[in-house]
Amino acid sequence: MKRLLPIILLATTLCIGCKPAWTAREREIIRDSDSLMYVTTIQADSAILRTPSVDLGPKELDSQELQTLLAKMLHTVTDPSQDGVGIAAPQVGINRRIILVQRFDKPGEPFEGYVNIRVDSLAGEIVTGREGCLSVPGLRGLVKRHSKIGISYTDISSHERVAEEVEGFTAVIFQHECDHLDGILYIDKADSLFISE
How many structural domains comprise the chain? 1
> What is the DSSP annotation of 147-189?
EEEEEEEE-TTT--EEEEEEEHHHHHHHHHHHHHHTT--GGGT
Residue 172 lies in a domain: yes
Active site residues: 177
Question: Whole-angstrom distance between the N-terminal and C-terminal Cα of the chain?
Answer: 66
Q: What is the CATH number of the domain that holds 182?
A: 3.90.45.10
Residue 14 lies in a domain: no
Residue 81 CB coordination number (10 Å) = 8
For 9-42, how does the pLDDT look when each residue is reduced to its tens digit (9 = 90+)?
344 334 444 555 999 999 999 999 999 999 999 9
- Say if pTM beats, i.e. exceeds, 0.85: yes
Residue 134 lies in a domain: yes
Q: Is 54 helix (H, G, I), strand (E, B) or coil?
A: strand
Residue 3 lies in a domain: no
Residue 79 lies in a domain: yes
- Residue 125 sits in which domain range? 23-195
Residue 63 lies in a domain: yes
Residue 114 bridge partners (DSSP): 99
Residue 10 lies in a domain: no
Greater model confidence, 9 or 195: 195
Instruction: Return the pLDDT at 20.
Output: 59
Residue 7 lies in a domain: no
Q: Is the pLDDT of residue 134 over 90?
A: yes
Q: Is the pLDDT of residue 7 over 60?
A: no
For 47-103, how does the pLDDT look when each residue is reduced to its tens digit (9 = 90+)?
999 999 999 999 999 999 999 999 999 999 999 999 999 999 999 999 999 999 999
